[in-house]
Chains A and B, each alone.
Chain A
Amino acid sequence: MGVRKIDVARCTGCSICVEYCPMDVLKMDGKSQKAFIKYLRDCQGCFLCERVCPENAVYCVPVYERRIPLPW
């Protein structure tokens, strides 16, 4: 899962998280001018968006979004 939510009340639409996300998961919504989670399945759970958001608007969790086989 990785990125869990973007708090629209806090988001100022600075787009920093969108610029940093290495997996293109986050995009800017043209209408609201806020960031939103567009491709959740491809999130790599790196927490970078949460770390760079100046408004503390992003919240991530260390939970797998996909099923990843176990080695045994």
Chain B
Amino acid sequence: MNNQEHETDVLVIGGGIAGTFAAIKAREAGAAEVVQVDKASVGRSGCSAFAAGVIQAFSPDEDDREDCFREAVIKSHFLCDQEKLEDHLDDSADRIKEMDSLGVEFVKTAQGKLQRQVGRGKFTSIMFHGGYQMMEAMRRAASRTGVKLVDRVMIVDLLTDGGRIAGAIGFNTDSGEVHEFMAKSVVLAAGRTWLKTRRPGHRNLSGDGIAAAYRAGLTLTGFDSGGVNTGPAMYDIGPGNNMYMGSGATLVNADGERFVEKYDPVLKERTELHTLSAACAIEAKRGKTPLYLDMTHIEPEKVRLMRRVIPSPMMMWERAGVLAGDRFTRKIEWVTEGPSVRGGLLVNRRYETTLPGLFACGDAMPSSGTWGQNALAGAMTSGARAGKHAAEYAREVSPPEADAEQISELKRQMLEPLLRKDGIEPDQVLLSLQEAVMPYDVWTLRSEERMSRALKEIESIWRDQVPLLKAYDPHYLRMAVEARNLALVSLLLLKSSLFRQESRETAREDYPYMDNINWLKWVTVKKEGEQISTSAVEVPLHRYKLKPEKGKDLHPIWRVAERQGIIRIEGERVKWA
């Protein structure tokens, strides 16, 4: 197969909002050449292009900074990086202003101010006309700034030169042509990992950047955090939960009871995702399914706003016969959905990873990275900073040396599934992984026994199926590489989740306490030979403004469940009533 070689100052991998801001800022910071590569098309893939129209962006005019700061830290259960959070709050409003001037269409009041509305959590959000419009404007802005866009090239591995980054290697998913990129610095912005599960908009994200970084020996963190959401059981429709909940949607169990308010009497269904998902999972454990999302009472005016902010999902509801005109016509069966992996590359305050010259931003970082959550706001601010720092780094160093042996070995491994005559379909691997990880009592309500069983299954998929993945053509090669990466990330998930022996973001039945004495730590993973080495780094709270009370408390979810008589605690374990 043919080779295409590229040389650049800064290479940006990923065309979401983080990568696009990184590319634009790298150019603005003086990088002569910036190449941005996407396995689909820049601005038309990833979570950003399908985002559900809301940004929880801090506004110095509207919000109380200290209050926002405290809320973000508490929501992250004290795991978020408080220094980066300060930087994020410094930058947020400027990034929104820039997006406005670059052509992103925000919902505005008659006076031309950004309109705000409640959604998930305590703070209000601003709204825009869907991810597609936002990212079209950002793609055009990147082109105008002189960023060279390379579409349909899937990056598979990182290239290194001694102890620094040298570039990346991938292939064109249409022609199969191999692309080698040599770069002085690289920004990894390839998003996070989803297991191609329920709801559209994220099935193009298979942890490729994370897996490439792991293979290159970088330190990663945050895979113990059980990213979850909720969604329709039967319809392939999404996203939009923030708008639904903000507009007054309610969740009821099989008895018609509004159960979420037991866990969060103030925010109710607008509660943060971990609480919402755990509440749903507990209802399942109690046999109170099916659960339903009810939007039939939402006023026509709010439905019309939803049509502007989440146009695609609203089209889908209409086509499913659930939305007619300005009204939802029936309740929708609702389930937990996940995992939406929240792990990523460990970065310092300059967004530099443990490999010099390699920067990471947006969802390629752990959710603890900026803002305590993976969302547009943090992706914008981290992307812009990462791009600027990558340009500064590139200015200081000479071009890297290509390591011919490394390139040829990575190329061989990358193309191997194409050579296999008999082998396993990527779909088979995918379904096996989903069946191991998706059950609510593996991922949302956890125990060592169930997670160990899932880990064993994934280890056998990794050992017996992944080496046999077969590809018929470059499209299937993409699917095969994605399946391999998803299997690897699933291993990181379960290893990390087993390692954290407490309940924090996610509730464990065998460790029901939130343990601020031993577990104010980030769980890290790294490749050691062929093994995954897991360890923990203290969150540097001594440097941070907000510090939690030292102590060990029953996790809030379990506290409510205990009060309700759903569980009791016996011998430091949860027993179901």
Contacts and interface: CB of A to CB of B under 8 A. Distances in A.
Interface of A: 1-2, 19-24, 27, 38-39, 41-42, 44-48, 50-51, 60-64, 66-72
Interface string B23-45: 00000000000000000110011
B427 interface: yes
A48 B41 CA distance: 12
Contact of A62 (B45, B316, B335, B475): B316
Chain B: interface secondary structure? loop
Q: Which 4 A/B pairs are nearest by Cβ-Cβ distance? A: A22-B45, A44-B203, A22-B40, A71-B440
A24 B482 CA distance: 14
A71 B431 contact: no
Nearest to B317: A62
Contacts of A48: 44, 49-50, 132, 312
B200 A68 contact: no
Contacts of A21: 40
A44 B45 CA distance: 11
Chain A: interface secondary structure? loop
A46 B50 CA distance: 8
Nearest to A19: B41
A38 B319 CA distance: 23
Interface of B: 40-41, 44-46, 49-50, 132, 151-152, 173-174, 196-198, 200-204, 233, 235-237, 281, 284, 289, 311-312, 315-317, 319-320, 335-338, 427, 431, 434-435, 438-440, 443-444, 475, 478-479
Contact of A51 (B132, B197, B319): B132
B382 to A, nearest CB: 22
29 contacts: A1-B236, A2-B236, A19-B41, A20-B44, A22-B49, A23-B40, A24-B173, A41-B427, A42-B479, A44-B202, A44-B203, A48-B44, A48-B49, A48-B50, A51-B132, A62-B316, A66-B427, A66-B431, A69-B434, A69-B435, A69-B438, A69-B439, A70-B335, A71-B438, A71-B440, A72-B281, A72-B336, A72-B439, A72-B440
B174 A24 contact: yes
Contacts of A63: 235-236
Nearest to A27: B174
A27 B175 CA distance: 12
Contacts of B439: 69, 71-72
A19 B311 CA distance: 21
Contacts of A70: 233, 335
Contact of B201 (A39, A44, A51, A67): A44
Given A1-B236, A69-B439, A71-B335, 14 more contacts: A41-B427, A42-B475, A42-B479, A44-B196, A47-B312, A62-B235, A62-B237, A63-B236, A68-B196, A69-B431, A69-B435, A72-B281, A72-B284, A72-B439
B312 A46 contact: yes
B40 A24 contact: yes
Contacts of A46: 50, 200-201, 312
